[in-house]
Amino acid sequence: MKKKNLVIVESPTKAKTIAKILGEGFSVVSSMGHIIDLPQKKLGVDIDNGFEPQFSVLAGRQKLVTLLKKESVGKTCIYVATDPDREGEAIGWHLKDKLFKKKKVLRVVFHEITPAAVSAAFKKPRNFDHKMIEAQFGRRVLDRIVGYFLSPLLWKKIGRGLSAGRVQSVALRLVVEREKQIQGFLPSEYWEIEAELQRVDSKFLAKLEKIDGKKAEIRNKDEADVIVKDLKNKTFRVLEVRKSEKKRYSPPPFITSTLQQEAFNKLRFNATKTMIVAQQLYEGIDIGQSGPVGLITYMRTDSPRAAPEAIKELRNYINRKFGKAYLPEHPNTYKVRKLAQEAHEAIRPTSIEMSPQGLKGFLAPEQYRLYELIFNRFLASQMTPALYRQTSVDIQVQNYQFSASGSTLVFDGFSVVYNMNNKDPEKNELPALKEDEVLDLLNLIPSQHFTKPPSRYSDSSLVKVLEEEGIGRPSTYAPIISTLILRDYMRRVKGYFHATELGFKVCELLVEYFPRVMDVKFTANLEEKLDQIEEGQLNRLKVLQEFYKPFKQRLDFAQEHIKKEVLVTDELCDKCGRPMIIKWGRKGKFLSCAGFPECRNSKSITTGVKCPQADCGGELIERRSRRGFFYGCSNFPRCKFTSRDLPQDESKSA
């Protein structure tokens, strides 16, 4: 049968899943992502002519263009079924504008790759949304202007091969400032005192909270010893008992940011890994005779909304599997943040009837774990609250006041399927205490503590702060993190981000010369303006003009005043005797002769850690590749040892 229509999507997997749904009459092909974009080796933006972007076919994509044009021959209609966001809209528009100007090209949008959703979308194709395209073009032009003009300044000041980004550089500032807080933190000593108390045969611990009606502040061991001595042989009497019931409400279904946070907290997946696995679940998994099936809705979203039919299916499932006690009288609803893409849905299973356990044999371990997390979170989102019985007790000892609290789970509600704390449900019941009764003191336990610096960011906490501060959007969180690591501006060490020396230097230079571009609130405001372009409330040209004029003033000032930073070492060049200086390049930090370019002697900076390979004799060197930072042997290529982490130097520890 002759196929009358052509469907273009981004990936081969998605093409395979959709082809199975549409059947004969449709030829489904993949564009392999972007085919047309701004040129790689020049600005590609006509600043003097309304900031008009100069899009062209990317290098190496001409064969694919030829293939798509060939596929379009004789087709009645071309459907663009790229992802349902700005980027997907722009990818499709480029195809229509550059490749198929004389063809009938329509846009098809769906948020899940299921027979019902895909079929419904193809019954109602639409024209391209020019507001979305305007917003995406505005974002692309802004990012290109910042990257194109700031990167050469980094080359001039620090070293070639470095680059800056409009959103990534602000995220780097967050990481660097947190690192500064940690480095400058001075711990303070404090002590706590707990009393082990007994009523009949029940024991519990109470903590000293107040002295003379004020918060207990114990600064050292001497002060703690005085209090312990004073408390001995004193009467511990129950002052007040407070009882209450507390509801813990179910969490909303996942959006991109919360999925990345929970996948890190519960599965230890980094943001990039989470999105790669989620993409696989969205585009389709082969589940035996059924063939490829999309298991989750689109994974780049900031809306917790779920389709009414999905809510109805879920409520029926809860009632059938768990009973009426677990089903709220009315569906749970969740607050949508300002400017969220409400046309999108939350990340949820495409069918609640496809349980993780039933699909386990078809999923890779990582796919199974992430699908189970998404499935259980959506299931919990429409269940009743968990109910706890709480007891709080104040205990008086002359001018000292101790407190204790306990909590017991009365009804598990949503927590039967989803644990918010990644811990066992609370069960810390106090004995049945009464006001004015006297308790037996078994022991007093003083303990020394020190205040701690703020924690370094993890994938979870960095994504959370990016969302809270309005930096980036759902599609950019994972790329922001991976880009900063790839550039070696920060490193992930045991799950937490450490700003590098290079990251500090890049950040400090950009903050000094471009304070507005590096300002968190300014960046968030710019993100909102891009959203407002999509809403039709702002004009793209006006937004770009307002940004560029002050940016150009700062750029001119920086180009005139910025000077090369030279870090001179004690080491002398073994070829000409001049000092060696530290430089940064595409492969990381290295030593270069101060006499460059007359003397071109250079060498890698070693870590001082011996290569662990037997009889090698080399030392490990910091290197960078397209996959990021790693350690390699100085005897390469004779020794090919590499490691992401720096091994323990056994010669030093011996």
pLDDT in tens, 572-615: 999 999 999 988 876 678 899 999 989 999 988 888 899 999 88
pLDDT of residue 1: 55
Q: What are the structural domains, with CATH classification, of the chain?
A: 5-128 (3.40.50.140), 137-184+455-561 (1.10.460.10), 189-249+386-450 (2.70.20.10), 256-381 (1.10.290.10), 566-604 (no CATH), 605-654 (no CATH)
Low-confidence ranges of the chain (pLDDT < 70): 1-2, 338-343, 422-427, 586-587, 626, 648-654
Helix (H) / strand (E) element for 610: namely: strand 606-610
| Cα–Cα distance list, 200 to 185, 218, 236 (Å) | 46, 31, 14
Separation of alpha carbons 282 and 350, rounded Å: 9
Separation of alpha carbons 612 and 619, rounded Å: 9
pLDDT of residue 288: 81
Give every CB contact of residue 51 below 8 A, 6+ residues apart in sequence: 45, 141, 540, 541, 544, 545, 548
Separation of alpha carbons 100 and 577, rounded Å: 63
| φ, ψ of residue 195 in degrees (nearest 5) | -110, 130
- Paired residues of 243 in beta bridges: 391
Give CA angle at 20 (108, 361), nearest 5°.
Answer: 115
Residue type, 254: F
pLDDT of residue 648: 64
> Contact 517/169 with Cβ under 8 angstroms?
yes
Contacts 24+ apart (CB under 8 A), 153-158: 153/509, 153/513, 153/558, 153/559, 153/562, 154/506, 154/509, 156/562, 156/564, 157/509, 157/562, 157/563, 157/564, 157/565, 158/502, 158/505, 158/506, 158/509, 158/565, 158/584
Counting every residue, how long is the chain? Answer: 654
DSSP-derived 3-state class of residue 219: coil
How close are the terminal C-alpha atoms of the chain, in Å? 75
Indicate if the alpha-carbon torsion angle 31, 36, 42, 44 is positive or negative.
negative
Separation of alpha carbons 91 and 230, rounded Å: 75
DSSP, res 415: G
| φ, ψ of residue 349 in degrees (nearest 5) | -65, 145
Q: What is the largest CA-CA distance in the chain?
A: 97
| Cα–Cα distance list, 27 to 4, 72, 311, 410, 520 (Å) | 8, 9, 34, 57, 46
Burial class (CB in 10 A: 0-12, 13-18, 19+), 243: exposed
Separation of alpha carbons 80 and 105, rounded Å: 7
- Paired residues of 397 in beta bridges: 400
Helices (H), 214-268: 221-231, 256-267
Helices 168-183 and 520-534, axial angle in degrees (round to 10): 150
Token reading at 418: 């989803």
The catalytic residue positions are 298
Separation of alpha carbons 227 and 221, rounded Å: 10
Separation of alpha carbons 499 and 487, rounded Å: 11
The model's pTM is: 0.90
Place of tokens 């129950």: 238
